[in-house]
């Protein structure tokens, strides 16, 4: 029997978060993916450096790549340092890659990284989302709905 999946991923230390993605995109589904990193990249991430603000993921053949993620050079890395904005391979199952490829190819979805974090075992992970881009009117509607829910909660606390 298959082990049940946790509802939320086990995030111990969040290194980088793409907060704008939740505003710009309507998130459909989330996946947890490992990242193939070099030693100096891991050290930079452990110091809390890194940004995924303008990054995205794409499926090339049988692999998924994280593009444009910025992990700055490690200060004591000397000649073993890495290139800050290189493409990094994401580690997923074949079934998950096929599902991502199908969503991107057929339905016009986008692969957006939401956060980079270390799990309880100390492994660097990426929370990857299949998302649909929002238009300007969709963003305004989403903001109105969010404000109304916040106001609703406030009213329920006052009268409840």
Per-domain residue ranges for the chain?
Answer: 13-134
How far apart CA 154 and CA 148 sit, in angstroms, is 10
Q: 13-134 in CATH: which number?
A: 2.40.280.10
The strand pair at 88-91 and 25-35 is best described as antiparallel
Query: pTM, whole model, 2 decimals?
Result: 0.80
Please write the tens of the pLDDT for every residue from 51-81: 999 999 999 989 999 999 998 888 887 787 8
Tokens for 9, please give them.
């991923």
pLDDT in tens, 26-54: 899 999 999 999 888 998 999 988 999 99
**What ranges make up the beta strands (E) of 36-92?**
56-60, 63-67, 88-91
């Amino acid at each position: 029997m298959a082990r049940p999946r946790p509802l939320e991923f086990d995030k111990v230390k969040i290194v980088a978060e793409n907060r704008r993605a939740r505003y710009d995109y309507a998130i459909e589904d989330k996946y947890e993916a490992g990242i193939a990193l070099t030693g100096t990249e891991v050290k930079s991430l452990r110091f809390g450096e890194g940004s995924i603000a303008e990054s995205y993921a794409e499926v090339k053949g049988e692999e998924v790549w994280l593009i444009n993620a910025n992990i700055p050079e490690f200060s004591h890395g000397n000649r073993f340092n890495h290139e800050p904005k290189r493409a990094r391979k994401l580690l997923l199952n074949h079934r998950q890659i096929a599902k991502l490829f199908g969503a991107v190819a057929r339905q016009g979805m986008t692969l957006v990284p939401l956060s980079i974090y270390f799990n309880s075992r100390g492994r660097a992970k990426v929370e990857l989302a299949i998302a649909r881009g929002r238009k300007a009117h969709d963003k305004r509607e989403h903001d109105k709905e969010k404000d109304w829910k916040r106001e609703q909660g406030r009213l329920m606390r006052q009268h409840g």
